[in-house]
Amino acid sequence: MAKIVTSPAADKRASAREGFITAAVSDYGAAKVYALQCLEDFGPEFWLKDSKGYAQWETERDTLRDGLKAKDHSNPRQVIRRLIATAQGNKGRGTGEVRDLCVRAEKDIGKIYTAFRREEKTEGGLSTKEKAWLLSIAKALADNGVDLNALIPKTKTK
């Protein structure tokens, strides 16, 4: 049986990796527990200014920020955002709004379509390749029931 030889650097790296994994798991668990406690204490959507528990949350948030700064955390706001995301239950998507992928595709691809249409109206117009792209994008949107006329911004008439 062959003997496995490791270097001191590999051992240090493995130890650092294990520490990082342990911290990541415990950080998520701690965030989850803290978020649930905040929801219980301050009510649903406590992070919104017009919620009933916002005034209490402000005090708690300031205490949390001060504690993080005392431990020399480089970005307390990031931790607070992660805590709120955990409370929202969507693990870091920010606003809490989870968009359907098809709705997102329609909006994002629609923006590209309107960019091509704007460029089409310029003095230089579109190249052959750009025209092909525009037609392909328009077909994909139309095939999925998107009203192409609704995507074009209305211009004011004098």
Would you give per-residue pLDDT tens digits along the chain (158 residues)? Answer: 555 656 777 788 888 888 877 877 788 888 888 888 999 999 988 888 888 999 999 999 999 999 988 988 888 888 888 888 888 884 444 444 555 788 888 889 999 999 999 898 888 889 999 999 999 999 999 999 988 888 877 655 54
What is the 8-class DSSP label of residue 152?
A: S
- d(CA 92, CA 74) in angstroms, rounded, equals 19
- d(CA 91, CA 31) in angstroms, rounded, equals 10
Instruction: Give yes or no for a contact between 46 and 38, defined as CB atoms under 8 angstroms apart.
Output: yes
